[in-house]
């Protein structure tokens, strides 16, 4: 079951980060503490890891996975894309707006539920196609555009002499 904690601090993430692909997930213990993450894999000493490493991996892994996906823009809706994963034979719809890069997949739904916002690999595939390397960069630029538009709209109309 996905929870707020194991969405980021998961055995699967540690297995990928440490390259322990031969290990079963139930052998790997990962617990979120207040400021650190406690991890234990049989054969290794139990240890603490910084949360930042898991957070970085969370984003990097999705950005890497996005490379293998194929993005197809909708012809009748400029903000929608279908993202195909030919390995899995799956496809999801991504919709970009000023506030989010939303997807119909489970991962995106979980991120929004537990983190309040998110970006899945399908979202990163669309952002890549649009020339952005991160969700933060995309949101900053759309924000800037909105502010400029607001400024422009607040300017008084020129008065004819
Ligand atoms: Zn998705």
Q: How far is the CA of 29 from the centre of ligand 1 (A)?
A: 27
Residue 95: enclosing H or E segment and its boundaries? strand 90-96
SS3 state at 100: coil
Q: How far is the CA of 129 from the centre of ligand 1 (A)?
A: 15
Q: How far is the CA of 122 from the centre of ligand 1 (A)?
A: 4
SS3 helix, strand, coil % of the chain, rounded to 5?
Answer: 40, 20, 40
- Are 125 and 109 a contacting pair, CB within 8 Å? no
Q: How far is the CA of 115 from the centre of ligand 1 (A)?
A: 15
pLDDT, mean of residues 23-42: 95
% of residues, the chain, pLDDT over 90:
83
Nearest to 119 by CA among 143, 145, 131, 137: 137
Domain ranges of the chain: 1-63, 67-154
Q: What confidence category does residue 131 fall into, taking pLDDT thresholds of 50, 70 and 90?
A: very high
Mean pLDDT over each residue of the chain, to the nearest integer:
94
Q: What's the predicted TM-score (pTM) here? A: 0.87
Q: Is the pLDDT of residue 161 over 70?
A: no
pLDDT score for 62: 97
Q: How far is the CA of 109 from the centre of ligand 1 (A)?
A: 8
pLDDT score for 106: 97
Q: What confidence category does residue 154 fall into, taking pLDDT thresholds of 50, 70 and 90?
A: confident
């Amino acid at each position: 079951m996905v929870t707020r904690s194991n969405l980021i601090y998961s055995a699967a993430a540690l297995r990928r980060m440490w390259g322990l692909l031969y290990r079963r997930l139930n052998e790997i213990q990962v617990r979120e503490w207040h400021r650190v993450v406690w991890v234990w894999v049989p054969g290794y000493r139990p240890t603490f890891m910084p949360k930042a490493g898991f957070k970085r991996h969370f984003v990097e892994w999705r950005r890497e996975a996005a490379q293998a996906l194929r993005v197809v823009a909708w012809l009748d809706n400029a903000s929608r894309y279908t993202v195909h994963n030919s390995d899995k034979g799956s496809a999801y719809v991504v919709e970009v707006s000023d506030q989010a890069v939303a997807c119909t997949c489970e991962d995106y739904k979980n991120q929004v539920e537990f983190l309040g916002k998110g970006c899945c690999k399908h979202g990163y595939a669309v952002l890549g196609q649009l020339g952005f390397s991160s969700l933060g960069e995309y949101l900053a630029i759309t924000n800037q555009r909105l502010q400029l538009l607001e400024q422009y709209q607040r300017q008084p109309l020129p008065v004819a002499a």
